[in-house]
């Protein structure tokens, strides 16, 4: 994966499938969790707090700007040019408020404000 690029959903799902097969010695079945605990002996859903920590690590490793990571933490949204048209007006307002909050808390960072506008 190139710096600044997150994997596509297809890439992430294929990596997850490979990890599942390596861990449990079989293909995932319909009732198996998609996001599984890699430390469990049997397929178990991953702890949501652990998932959040790992997601933040991936975002940082991918070189995602700090203000976007902050907005993700505040809103639970992962916004890109590809999906912003799917957001509600409320989601856009929350995202923009989180971006503004980040720059209020980090005024020396300047950076490009990635505010969203309805298209």
Q: Which residues of 8-25 are buried (b: 16+ CB within 10 A; e: fewer)?
A: eeeeeeeeeeeebeebbe
Question: Cβ contacts of residue 66 below 8 Å, gap of 6+?
Answer: 102, 106, 109
Based on the domain organization, do 42 and 52 belong to the same domain? Answer: no
Based on the domain organization, do 27 and 72 belong to the same domain? Answer: no
What average pLDDT does the segment 71-82 reach? Answer: 89
Based on the domain organization, do 52 and 101 belong to the same domain? Answer: yes
> Does a structural domain hold residue 1?
no
What average pLDDT does the segment 61-80 reach? Answer: 91
**In angstroms, rounded to a whole number, what is the distance separating the alpha carbons of residues 65 and 98?**
13
Based on the domain organization, do 56 and 77 belong to the same domain? Answer: yes
Phi/psi of residue 63, nearest 5 degrees = 80, 20
Assess contact for 77 and 50: CB atoms under 8 A.
no
Phi/psi of residue 22, nearest 5 degrees = -65, -40
Number of domains in the chain: 2
The pLDDT tens digits for 34-47 are 999 999 999 999 99
The pLDDT tens digits for 78-118 are 888 788 889 999 999 999 999 999 999 988 776 666 666 65
Provide the mean pLDDT of the chain.
88
> Does a structural domain hold residue 27?
yes
Based on the domain organization, do 79 and 106 belong to the same domain? Answer: yes
Largest CA distance in the chain: 51
Based on the domain organization, do 63 and 14 belong to the same domain? Answer: no
Based on the domain organization, do 16 and 57 belong to the same domain? Answer: no
Based on the domain organization, do 114 and 67 belong to the same domain? Answer: yes
What average pLDDT does the segment 49-62 reach? Answer: 91
Per-residue pLDDT at 1: 47
The residue range of the domain holding 26 is 6-46
Based on the domain organization, do 55 and 107 belong to the same domain? Answer: yes
**In angstroms, rounded to a whole number, what is the distance separating the alpha carbons of residues 104 and 28?**
45
> Does a structural domain hold residue 32?
yes
Based on the domain organization, do 28 and 68 belong to the same domain? Answer: no
Per-residue pLDDT at 67: 92
**In angstroms, rounded to a whole number, what is the distance separating the alpha carbons of residues 61 and 3?**
7
Per-residue pLDDT at 78: 87
Based on the domain organization, do 96 and 40 belong to the same domain? Answer: no
Phi/psi of residue 19, nearest 5 degrees = -65, -40
Assess contact for 116 and 92: CB atoms under 8 A.
yes
């Amino acid at each position: 994966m190139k710096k600044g690029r997150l994997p596509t959903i297809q890439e992430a799902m294929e990596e997850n499938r490979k990890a599942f097969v390596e861990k449990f010695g079989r293909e995932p079945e319909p009732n198996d969790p998609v996001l599984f605990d890699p430390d469990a002996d049997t397929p178990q859903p991953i702890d949501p707090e652990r998932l959040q920590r790992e997601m933040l690590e991936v975002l940082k490793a991918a070189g995602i700007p700090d203000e976007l990571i902050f907005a993700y933490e505040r809103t639970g949204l992962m916004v890109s040019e590809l999906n912003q048209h799917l957001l509600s007006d409320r989601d856009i307002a929350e995202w923009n408020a989180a971006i503004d909050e980040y720059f209020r808390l980090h005024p020396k960072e300047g950076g490009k404000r990635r505010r969203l506008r309805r298209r």
